[in-house]
Amino acid sequence: MRLRRAIFAAASVLAIAAATPASAEGVSIDDIVNDHKSTGNVLTNGQDIRGQRYSTLDQINTGNVAALAPAWVFSFGGEKQRGQEAQPIVSDGVIYITGSYSRMWAIDAKTGDEIWQYDARLPEGILPCCDVVNRGAAIHGDKIYFGTLDAQLVALDKKTGKVAWRKKIDDFKAGFSYTAAPLIVPSKHGPLIVTGVSGGEFGIVGRVDARNVETGELVWSRPTIEGHVGTLNGKKSTMTGKKNETWPGDMWKWGGGATWMGGTFDPDTKSIFIGAGNPAPWNSHLRPGDNKWSCSRLAIDPDTGEIKWGFQTTPHDGWDYDGVNELVSFDADGQKLAATADRNGFFYVLDRTNGKFVRGFPFVDKISWASGLDKDGRPIYIKENYPGDPKKAKDGKKGKGVFVVPSFLGGKNQMPMAYSQQTGYFYVPSNEWGMDLWNEPVSYKKGAAYLGAGFTIKPIFKDHIGSLKAVDPISGKIVWEYKNKAPLWGGVLATAGGLVFTGTPEGFLKAFDAKTGKELWKFQTGSGIVAPPATWEQDGEQVIGVSGGWGGAVPLWGGEVAKTVKYLNSGGSFWLFKLPKKMAAN
């Protein structure tokens, strides 16, 4: 096992070793759309443009995973540790991985040697909400792309790490930032690179942008809050919704709905699926109405930027239940479906052709803000569990508080789930916690926090917070559950070897039997894992790769829960695992 420490400086690119030569054509849009059919590369964030995070590789399986061992580890180095939430992109024997503080590395997948490193030159005054994380890159042609905390999109030459182009997404001084992995999709304009925005807690307005992959020039833009107007080919296009239909007065102007998790693409319906976050401010008494299209999953036409359909999981959100979690396409019972596990604690199955509600059910325990979902998937609210209006308080400063489950960090947050084509189950990394929540007066000011609420997160069980669940999307049953003492914050990978992989804050990468949930293997990486694992084949061997490094929102926003995990150490590394050759040959 070799430790490779990166030496870095701001905006530096270091050419250290030669990589396996890339193909002359580079990565095509067909390669990206068919990523799930390729075992030698990982070209999308999700191992599949649909986001299933399922691999057909089965060399590592339930019978031999106990022998899985590290081949090498690469250190991200320096003092810039914090949370490492990125999934790797792998192409032609090169791993492209992003890290905290808007950095990227190209690593030789065979040896763990650094090829190059790029560090964004971040300005003073950036306003990231939930740690200095980055969730990954996108690849096309001869370029590798990622976004930065000061809300810029950067295209790098994938061989050298040199900047090909850089485009401003928006003004970081107003609260905009960018943390998601970009999405590359086909369109009549050619391949487009699709990005969202972060910053809902600062009153920014969410939107989805699509750019030319070669030049970075904007092709279309679609706001997620009604009343705002999109663009197409440099001109105004259509308004999102109808102004003031579900937003009062001028509240829509600073309405939130940040698209901070990125999206997936469904080749069958030719739709971009992306989620919009919480409405702003958190104080719901200032904005009566459904507040569309916050807390929603949206299907967007890649040719025009028009919204095909929207499904709102938490209309008139009063608990910060962002609707950003990934919408994953799958087929079952002869239907074209899509599923999402929402922050609000409910699991939803939709008809992905039209967005119609098929079924929904809780995937966490003790949900207290709603008693269930109606026939259209709309929550049946428990009105007394909305936090009170500060205007009705004697001092006008603090409304009546409530204790509500789940907490605003959600039944599921940024950590992506996986779908197994082998079992038909979704594997959902979830958390069981609640929060004390109250509203406060607030008004919008550019670049300032725009919450109007106070909160404290608390555990609801003594023995665990984290819970990895196998969910049957057809029956609505929880098939099995693995309980973890600390919150789960890392993504999941499912494979045809009958395995489910995920990491824990305690530092373990673990493998479970996909059918039964039995823990079959674990390895201590030295720092908490809050990133999704990936798998691919190189030189005839299946390998597993994952970033390690504790951080993210939990230690920053976790209240009483944060105190229970304060002993966990931050870090920054990338680990590659494979079977010993004798085992792999069996």
Give me the active site residues, please.
320
Q: Is the dihedral of CA 140, 144, 146, 152 positive or negative?
A: negative
Beta strands in 158-191 (DSSP E): 163-168, 183-185
Q: What whole-number distance in Å separates Cα of residue 473 and Cα of residue 424? A: 8
Phi first, then psi, for residue 287 (nearest 5°) are -140, 65
Q: Which candidate, 426, 545, 489, places its Cα nearest to that of 51?
A: 426
Q: Tally Cβ neighbours within 10 Å of residue 203.
A: 25
> Of the candidates 563, 483, 477, which has an alpha carbon nearest to the alpha carbon of residue 519?
483
Beta strand residue intervals within 354-450, DSSP E: 357-362, 370-373, 379-381, 402-404, 418-419, 426-431, 433-439
Burial track 93-112 (b if 16+ CB lie within 10 A, e otherwise): bbbbbbbbbbbbbbbbbbbb
- Bridge-based pairing state of the strands 207-212 and 192-195: antiparallel
**Angle at Cα 138 formed by Cα 133 and Cα 141, nearest 5°?**
150
Tokens encoding 427: 């594997």
3-class secondary structure per residue, 313-375: CCCCCCCCCCCCCCCEEEEECCEEEEEEECCCCEEEEEECCCCCEEEEEECCCCCCCEEEECC
**503/217 Cα distance (integer angstroms):** 38
